[in-house]
Amino acid sequence: MQLASRVKFHRVGDRLVRRNPLFYSRAMGLLRDFDTKDPSSQDQWRARRLQRTLDAASRTEYGRKVATPRSLPEWPVLEKEALRADPTQFHSGSGWFTVSAATSGTTGTPLQLRRTLPSVAYEQAVIDRFVEQTAGLSLRGCRAAVLRGDDIKPIPDREPPFWRLTNGGHRLVFSANHLDETTLPHYLDALRRYAPDILFAYPSVLESLCSLMLARGDHVPVAITECASESLTPATGEIARRVLGTRVLAHYGQAERVAWAQGGPDEGYRFVPTYSINELRFVESADDADIYDLIGTGLWNDSMPLIRYRTGDHVRLRKGSDPQAVASGRESFLGVLGRSGDYLIGPSGVRLVGIDHIPRGVPNVIRAQFIQESADDVTLLVIPAPGFGEAQRRLLLEQAARKLPPSMRVRIETTNRLLRNASGKTPLVVSDLVAAASGKPPCRNSYR
């Protein structure tokens, strides 16, 4: 297990990184103080913080390349391809007090990122204050169950426990990829005995858990459920309320940390005004909403400031909404498109999550995509960089074995072109089984 994975299972990661005492208390104080300001004072604070970010960006190679504009509108829109091609040109200088990150992203294209400790602590403060204000729960010291993409034990091991107690007893972390109708009773027994104050979950895994519970007529009380990383639909929220009796919350963000929103599937979402400066560009009008492209400028990561970064996500606004008010967090919006879960379906029908972790950190991989046409066979398409060879193939298969059952055969193919959907995007997972479960035609009929 990698160092980053080990740290998050220990309380030291919470104390020294996410809630670092040098930065966390200051961030919480700022959030509380900002809420008491009038709109004019809030705008002045945002302008000062933006100028600090632009100053940091002017010290990067990229900033010098675009002639270090002094005002935000003068900066060009930053596309993902430029960041992927050379992330070092966005580094502002010293790497002290930074946390490295690597993600394959939803398209399977690696992103090498780094973040300052103050930015990590500030984001944790945003989450803590959101849950505290919305649900009256302090996340510091509470008991939390986690049902995301964590690797707890080898997939072939079908004997409980399918969970691990971490963070000094404050986290019960489950393996999502062991969950099915056979193992469900063990999960429910562990939840009942642990009695968490809150459940952190991927929406796709939450839907699987609650659907299995509903089919058996089971019920386990969990007061609060907080979702992230994928779109949370009203239907998933409703089934969670039925079997868990829970209040469902959610937040939206990206690995690049250039925008942040929080809320829920029923009441809508709001951007956090102290997190970023957001721009919404009109794309099209649908029957029930207006669709906007989201461009964000994060206000906290001085080590790798990304200015006017096109996230690739589309925001759904209610008809008649004011885009400027939505962008500044003064008006809510309906949700974000393009944030569906990337998962495979195993032979037992269980959703296998954390698929984006498989190509993560593998050198000489430009892009990757999983193609699933049956429950037993998966093809991993790889656009290779020079140097890709047997060592990289072995590493990909080793990392796949941590996420997929041994009965699933994984075949690696190199290519110079991945499949695209009708909108021109290249999703990480292309699955006929997922399409069929959603009532859609086979992928080969809708991808090119």
CATH of the domain at 382: 3.30.300.30
Whether residue 87 is contained in a domain is answered as yes
Of all residues in the chain, what percent are helix, strand and coil, respectively (each to 5)?
A: 35, 25, 40
From CA 205, how far away is CA 197, in angstroms rounded? 18
Whether residue 229 is contained in a domain is answered as yes
Q: How does pLDDT run across 324-383, given as a tens digit for each residue?
A: 999 999 999 999 985 555 789 888 888 888 888 899 889 888 788 999 989 999 999 998
From CA 347, how far away is CA 173, in angstroms rounded? 24
Whether residue 95 is contained in a domain is answered as yes
Q: How far is CA 250 from CA 35, 191, 265, 336, 350, in A?
A: 20, 21, 8, 12, 23
Neighbour count for residue 195 (Cβ, 10 Å):
13
Low-confidence ranges of the chain (pLDDT < 70): 1-14, 94-96, 102-110, 338-341, 422-425, 435-448
Per-residue model confidence (pLDDT) at position 1: 38
From CA 60, how far away is CA 349, in angstroms rounded? 48
| Residue where a domain terminates, one of 251, 271, 289 | 251
Question: Are 34 and 125 contacting, i.e. CB atoms less than 8 angstroms apart?
Answer: no
Per-residue model confidence (pLDDT) at position 435: 64
Per-residue model confidence (pLDDT) at position 436: 61
- Say whether pTM exceeds 0.85: no
Query: Is the same domain home to 240 and 370?
Result: no
Query: Is the same domain home to 381 and 236?
Result: no
Query: Is the same domain home to 64 and 184?
Result: yes
Show the domain range for 399: 358-445
Q: What 3-state class would DSSP assign to 68? A: coil
Whether residue 335 is contained in a domain is answered as no
Calculate the CA dihedral of residues 20, 25, 27, 30 and round it to 10 degrees. -170
Query: Is the same domain home to 244 and 364?
Result: no
Question: Are 135 and 224 contacting, i.e. CB atoms less than 8 angstroms apart?
Answer: yes
Per-residue model confidence (pLDDT) at position 418: 84
Whether residue 346 is contained in a domain is answered as no
Query: Is the same domain home to 243 and 371?
Result: no
Whether residue 80 is contained in a domain is answered as yes
Query: Is the same domain home to 161 and 17?
Result: yes
Number of domains in the chain: 2
Per-residue model confidence (pLDDT) at position 204: 85
| Residue where a domain terminates, one of 228, 251, 274 | 251
Per-residue model confidence (pLDDT) at position 420: 76
Q: Strand pairing partners for 155?
A: none
| Residue where a domain terminates, one of 201, 221, 251 | 251
Whether residue 283 is contained in a domain is answered as no
Query: Is the same domain home to 202 and 63?
Result: yes
From CA 352, how far away is CA 129, in angstroms rounded? 31
